[in-house]
Structures are given as structure tokens and as C-alpha cells.
Amino acid sequence: MIERIFRSVLDSYHHRFVSRRLILAIDLTIVLFSFLAASVLRFNFDVSEINWPVYRYYVLVLLLVRWGYFLGFRSYHGIVRHTSLEDMWLIFRTVSLSSLTVILASAAAAYFLDRIILYIPVSVLLIEYFICLFLMIASRFFVKSMYQDIASKSPRTLPQDTIIYGAGSLGILTRNVLLNDPHKIHNILCFIDDNPTLNGKSMAGVRVLDRESAYEKYGSKDASNLEVVLAIQSIGTKRKKDILEFFLQRNIVVKVVPSANEWLEGTLSSGQIRKIRIEDLLEREPIKLDSANVRNQVVGKVVAITGAAGSIGSEIARQLVHYAPKKLLMLDQSESGLYDLEFELRNVYAERIENVELVSMIANVTDAARMERVFTLHQPQIVFHAAAYKHVPMMEKYPYEAIKTNVLGTKTVADLSVRQRVEKFVFVSTDKAVNPTNVMGASKRLAEMYVQSLNSYLANTTDFVITRFGNVLGSNGSVVPLFRKQIQAGGPITVTHPEVIRFFMTIPEACQLVLEAGAMGQGGDVFVFDMGEPIKIVDLARRMVQLSGLVVDRDIRIIYTGLRPGEKLYEELLRNNESHLPTHHSKILIARLPDVAYEGVHETIRELKNILPGGDRDAMVSLMKTIIPEYISNNSEFEKLDHLQEDFSDPM
């Protein structure tokens, strides 16, 4: 009956808190009861020996002193259901100091006023002290325990079985946060810790087990309601992956506690404990940048970014504000994306941009007149050219747009950089420019060739640097956002081919390397990034399903749709006739590309520009194939042009 009433009250008022005045009144009632109990105990339950007219003044003095200390220390301000060791320590200090004050004050009054009646017996005060301290602490933990016990039986939520990986201070903090979660009841099964000396012991009342023992006891039979929270602050990438793989292979949901600098207002909350993302499984050891070199290149300079609203351009902007450029000029044709970026920089990075002039401008890199006015007005000293079309199937359908933006747009910005005496031009390219099999890759390769030839043709002016890397996780048009949408919709997940593999890198990691390569580049350098081991797209899809707490083929199906136009099974970072040299950065290599004659590339681009108005797609693609002999179409309507070139080259 009592439990049912309490549960009804809990369901109605679980989001509300007890009044502080009520808690203060309860505390003062405990003081009154404690004094009366202490007096009775002091006289061995013989109440006739107690001088009640005098003792009522004693209890009044004690109540007044305690009341003053309660107000001063604010011991009644805590939320009872969330009582912690810190609250217990606060109560201990408040009660101890108030008792000490009463003892000293009564002794001083009796001595200086020479009236023994003013002296409150120390024996009574000591007994009262222990009773009061016990009752105040016990009452709070009793209410907390009752709340958690009744809440765990409440039909409004199913208790979540939870294992915490890490029995250190962060693990214990995580336990406390989860137990106080107002939205979900957590049943903490155990801690897991790799330290063998902790195995079998208890931390904060929870048993510590090794990984295998914990899985055998709690996960081997039914793990449908089980989750593991990784609560280790300093953990190497390799060890982290090993832990994640262990549980994911067994279809157990894994969550992670964010680093301390991500805690809101310096305090961890249950809402910040998030599910593992695919980026966590693919991350590598943190990149060590030569920040001083990057800062020396950027500080006090006018820096322009084309394609600033895109995935790469926006992240370059976020990172550049840390290096104190004089002006950050952000160019893009996407008004919404550009507005969002400037809003973010002015609010999230407010302290960083105090001395940085932010300029966002709607501009298309293919509009030569517009770009010339922008460059003339702002006089950029460093240019990061990230504007490009990069969606392979779309550009296979619309080669006009790929050539206009990726080739002619790059030529426009590069030529302007020369005329305006820009110090450094950093071109963001792609691994799809290597042995291209599609229009997008070929257009980026032709842009590479023009930038490379321009650097040789116009020596001792602008330094042109090319950076080349593979897919970036979460970028616009990448498979990760697509898979997430398909999983949220209940599937199926569409994969083009079971053997398709790709290199992957996170957006921040890629942009860090772009800045580093741009700083170290001397002109004419083509930098390729160490992308790590290639990953099968189907394995990526399976992992994302597991990270969502689902099972492949039971909850989500994976279907194969066939290679898309222009797509190939694998990507490369170097051509067959290209080699590379190491740099001081282990993840950045210098590609040794064959020299490209400026006249030939310039003439081809001029012809492309003349062909574009006619809209002859075959003519556009055929001309690119002429200057890029390694461009062999794959799964594309333009494969016919490769056969035609073979026929023309046959001496028969």
C-alpha cells in the first residue's frame, strides 16, 4: 500500500524537488528530537531527574545555533534524491562546528557570568551530536535509497543493465551519474578493469571483474538489455579499438564517456554519455602538428578559403582561427552554409576571433569577374582552394558542371593568385584524381596538372601546393550520413559491391594535414596523406548497424546495388609511374609526379572552355582523355570513348 502511494507520487512529481524550507524544518526537527533523546539517555531514562524548565532553554539555544549554521553552510540546499559524499561531508562540518560553538559558548557564559545554570552539560551535547549527525545523514540516504528502489520498480521505464569499463575515479563518477539519471534507471552490474589486482574486489559497492569473466557472467546468455560504458580517461587508440571490437562482435551496445574538457560547465551528465560512433572505430593515433610552423605561415595574414561552406572548407576555417590570421575571407555560393559557418565562428569561437576580421562573401569560383573584384578588394596572401564538385555519379551525368567548376574554377582562382601576388596557393585534391575512372576524378586531375604546370611556368612568384587524400567521414555526399539515414529508416542499407574498399579519414584530421602540408610546401609539391588501412564499405555498414544496437540481417538488411557510373572497386593515392618521398611528418608524403608542360595543359583547358557552350558531353570527356591517358572510364557510358581512342591508335 505504502509502496503504491509512493510510486504514484513518484510518477507525478519525479521531475520536481522538495522545498528547501521543508528540508530545513526537517533538519531542525531532527535537532530537537536528538536533544530530547540525548537528555533521556544521559539520565538513564529517568525523566524525573531532568530539570525541564532549564533544559527547554538549552534546546532553544541549540536550535538557534544550528539554524544559523544551517543557513550559513546551506546544508539544506542539496537535492535529497541525489545525495552524495560531498553532501555528507557538508552535513558533518555543519553539525560539528555548531556543536563545538554551543559547547564553547555555554562554558564561556558559565565561567564569565559565574552562573553554572548557563552551562549545558557536555555529555548531553556529545550524545546529541552523534544522534543528530547520524539521523541527518541517514534520513537523506534513506530517501535516496527509497526513491531509487521504487523508481526501479516503476512501470514507466525498464531498468538498463549496465557494465562500466574502468574502475578508476572516472568509473566511479560515471556510476554516480548513471544512478542519478532522472530519465532512465540503470542497474550497475559490475566494473570491468584490466588491472588484475582489482579483480574480485569492490568499488563503491560494485564488484570488479576482468573482461572475460564479466562477459561470461552477464553477456554470454542474453545481452539484449546490456550496455557497456567505457569510462577510461586516458586510453590508447589501439587498446580502445580492442575493447570496442570485443563487445561489438558480441552485439553488445557500447557507450563512451567524453573527455573532461567536453563536460558541460565542468560537470559530467548522463546525457553526455553517448553511443560509440563509427569515427571512434576508425580513429588513429592523434596527429602531432607543427603548430609553430603553421602559425608562422598564417599569423597576421589575409587568408582566403574557397568552398568555405563545404565539409573541408568549413573545418579549415575552424582550425585557422586558432592561428590568428589578420583576416579570414570565406567564399562560397551556398548562402545558408556560409551564414551558418560565420554564425558558428562568431559564437562558438568568440574568444578566438577577437582580433580576426571575418568576411564571408557569396561568390562562385567560375565567375571570373566576381572573383577578380573579391581578390582586388581583399588582397589575400594565402589561398586554400577547396571549392569543387565531388559526387562521382552526379558528375558522370553532368560533365559540364565538373569541368566548369573543378577545372575552369580552379584555373580562375589560380590565375588570380598569380596576378595578385598571393604567397601560397593550396589546392585540395582527391585520391580519385589518381588513375581516374570517372569525370569527377579526371576533372580534379586536370586541375592538378594545371596548378602543377603553373608553378613551373611562373617560377619565383606564387607557391602552388597540392594536397591529395581519400574519403573523409561525415562529409557531404559520403556513405556515412547515407548509412545513418538508412538505419534510422529501418533499412535496407545499400552497398554498391561487396568488394568495394575505400580509405577513410576524419574531417578534422584531413584538414589538420592540409594546414601542415600547406605550411611546409615550397611550391610545386604534391602531398599525399597516409590514410591508414583501406576499409571494405560492407564492413563499414555492418559496424554502423552494430553501433546502433541492431543486428545485420535480423533488424537491418544489406543489399548490393552494383557499381555506380564511374565508380571503381578501390582508390589509389599514387599512380603507377609516381613515387614518393618522406617528410618530417609521418603522415605526409611528397609525391614525385612527372613534369607537366604549361602550354599543353593551357591549350587543352582553352579548348574545353570553347566546347562547353555546345554541351557536347562526349567531346568534353574525349578531350580530357586525350591529355590524361590514364583516364579509363569504368561502368560508364564514356567507356565507348576509350574504345574509339584504341581504334584510332591502331596502325591498321
| Other residues' Cβ atoms within 10 Å of the Cβ of residue 517 | 27
User: What's the pLDDT score for residue 333?
Assistant: 93
Determine contact, residues 230/165, Cβ cutoff 8 Å. Answer: yes
3-class DSSP state of 363: coil
Residues 354 and 571: their CA atoms lie apart, in Å, by 42
Task: Say what the pLDDT of residue 648 is.
Answer: 44
Question: What is the rounded distance in angstroms from the CA atom of residue 125 to the CA atom of residue 131?
Answer: 10
pLDDT higher than 80, residue 572: no
Alpha-carbon Rg of the chain, whole angstroms?
35
Higher-confidence residue of 620 and 529: namely: 620
Whether the Cβ atoms of residue 229 and residue 165 lie closer than 8 Å to each other:
yes
Q: Can you tell me the mean pLDDT for 412-432?
A: 92
At 652 the pLDDT is 39
Whether the model clears a pTM of 0.75, i.e. scores above it, the answer is no
Q: Which of 162, 159, 194, 193 shows the shortest CA–CA distance to 175?
A: 162
Which sign, positive or negative, has the C-alpha torsion 405, 530, 583, 316?
Answer: positive
Per-residue buried b or exposed e for 5-21, using 16+ beta carbons within 10 Å of the residue's own CB: ebbeebeeeeeeeeeee
Residue 289: pLDDT above 60?
A: yes
Q: Per the structure block, which three cell numbers stand in for 495?
A: 552497398
Q: What is the pLDDT of residue 12?
A: 46
Whole-angstrom Cα distance, residue 556 to residue 492? 6
Domains of the chain, earliest start first? 2-152 (no CATH), 160-276 (3.40.50.720), 291-470+507-531+572-627 (3.40.50.720)
Instruction: Give me the phi and psi of 325, to 5 degrees please.
Output: -70, 155
Instruction: Kindly tell me the burial class for residue 364, based on how many C-beta atoms sit within 10 Å of its own C-beta (0-12, 13-18, 19 or more).
Output: middle
CA distance 281 to 540: 10
Q: Identify the pLDDT of residue 339.
A: 93
Sign of torsion over alpha carbons 534, 540, 546, 552: negative
Q: How far is CA 20 from the centre of its chain?
A: 38
Q: Which of 304-308, 483-487, 586-590 has the highest mean pLDDT?
A: 304-308
Q: What is the layout of strands, in order, in the sheet containing 226-230? A: 202-203, 206-209, 186-192, 160-165, 226-230, 253-256, 274-275
Can you tell me the mean pLDDT for 548-575? 78
pLDDT digits (tens, 9 = 90+) for 205-241: 788 888 888 888 887 777 777 888 888 877 777 788 8
By 3-state DSSP, what share of the chain in percent is helix, strand and coil, each rounded to 5? 50, 15, 35
- Euclidean distance between CA atoms 510 and 473, whole angstroms: 10
Question: Rounded to the nearest 5°, which phi and psi values hold at 169?
Answer: -65, -40
Q: How confident is the model at residue 360 (pLDDT cuts 50, 70, 90)?
A: very high
- pLDDT tens by residue, 243-266: 888 888 888 888 888 766 556 555
**pLDDT for the residue numbered 15:** 43
β partners of residue 45: none
Percent of the chain with pLDDT strictly greater than 90: 22
